[in-house]
């Protein structure tokens, strides 16, 4: 199917939504996939898939089957692609344009950053995570009813990023006096796992846990 670029058939073999690197919107449907196929599966990635050998694919328990250390992940249960960790030149250009547009709509205190990581909503909070030029991370949060153009209620800098396995999961930790803010991102997880979790500790005791969803 990849050799012939049969998007009609391939569209049926995707777990939707198929996430893309923020702020590129997720691919949410078969119709969306067909329109954006070449954005994601450029000639480089198609060649990698079509020329791959069996030993390049490995099953990693409940996480699924991965190609070359996680460039592509397939759901073992239904055989569908659930993650693509590759960015084409077309997506890179699209992302750069979206970032420039996004900066125009941010509060002045947040316009300077190197790389936007994601936005999320929990029950009570709107949260934004950005990577800064010094390779540290910044946390900004508002009440869930606010928007990014308003002044954040809280900004934390010097976040520490930690990978958790080769499935793309990670945690980012921020220290604010006696408080520790942990953001857990579950890129590859069990079906009932939240996309992201906010955990706040006071003197090493958990005082808040809220699960959240990523937003475009």
Q: What is the pLDDT of residues 78-106, one digit of tens each?
A: 999 999 999 999 999 999 999 999 999 99
Give the predicted TM-score (pTM) of the model: 0.85
Q: How far is the C-alpha of 165 from the C-alpha of 48, rounded, in Å?
A: 23
- Rounded to 5 degrees, what are φ and ψ at 37? -50, -50
Question: For residue 73, what are the CA distances in angstroms to 14, 149, 178, 201?
Answer: 10, 36, 39, 33
* In the chain, where the domains are located: 7-89, 107-215
Burial zone of 83 (CB within 10 Å; 0-12 exposed, 13-18 middle, 19+ buried)? buried
DSSP per residue over 10-38, as a string?
HGGGB-SSB--STTSPPB-SHHHHHHHHH
pLDDT of residue 61: 87
Structure confidence by residue, pLDDT tens digits, 23-44: 999 999 999 999 999 999 999 9
pLDDT of 188 higher than 80: no
Q: Is the pLDDT higher at 39 or at 167? A: 39
Helix (H), strand (E), coil (C) string for 127-185: EEEEECCCCCEEEEEEECCCCCCCCCCEEEEEEEEEECCCCCCEEEEEEECCEEEEEEE
Query: What's the token pair of residue 44?
Result: 């480089």
Express each pLDDT in 107-123 by its tens digit.
999 999 999 999 999 99
How does 126-159 read in b/e, with b if 16+ C-beta sit within 10 Å? bbbbbbeeeebbbbbbbeeeeeeeeebeebbeeb
164/170 Cα distance (integer angstroms): 5
Going by pLDDT thresholds of 50, 70 and 90, the confidence category of residue 167 is low
């Amino acid at each position: 199917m990849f050799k012939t670029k049969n998007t009609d058939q391939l569209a049926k073999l995707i777990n939707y939504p198929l996430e893309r690197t923020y702020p590129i919107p997720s691919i949410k449907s078969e119709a969306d996939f067909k329109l954006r196929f070449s954005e994601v599966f450029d000639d480089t990635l198609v060649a990698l898939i079509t020329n791959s050998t069996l030993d390049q694919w490995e099953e990693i328990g409940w996480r699924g089957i991965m190609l070359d250390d996680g460039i592509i992940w397939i759901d073992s249960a239904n055989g569908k692609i659930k993650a693509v960790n590759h960015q084409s030149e077309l997506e890179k250009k699209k992302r750069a344009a979206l970032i420039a547009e996004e900066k125009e709509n941010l509060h002045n205190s947040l316009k300077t950053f190197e790389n936007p990581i994601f936005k999320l909503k929990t029950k009570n909070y709107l949260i934004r995570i950005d990577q800064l030029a010094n390779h540290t991370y910044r946390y900004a949060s508002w009440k869930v009813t606010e928007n990014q153009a308003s002044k954040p209620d809280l900004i934390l800098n010097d976040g520490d990023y930690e990978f958790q396995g080769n499935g793309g999961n990670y945690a980012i930790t921020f220290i604010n006096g006696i408080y520790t803010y942990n953001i857990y991102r579950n890129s590859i997880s069990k079906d009932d796992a939240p996309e992201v979790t906010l955990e706040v500790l006071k003197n090493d005791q958990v005082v808040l846990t809220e699960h959240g969803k990523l937003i475009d």
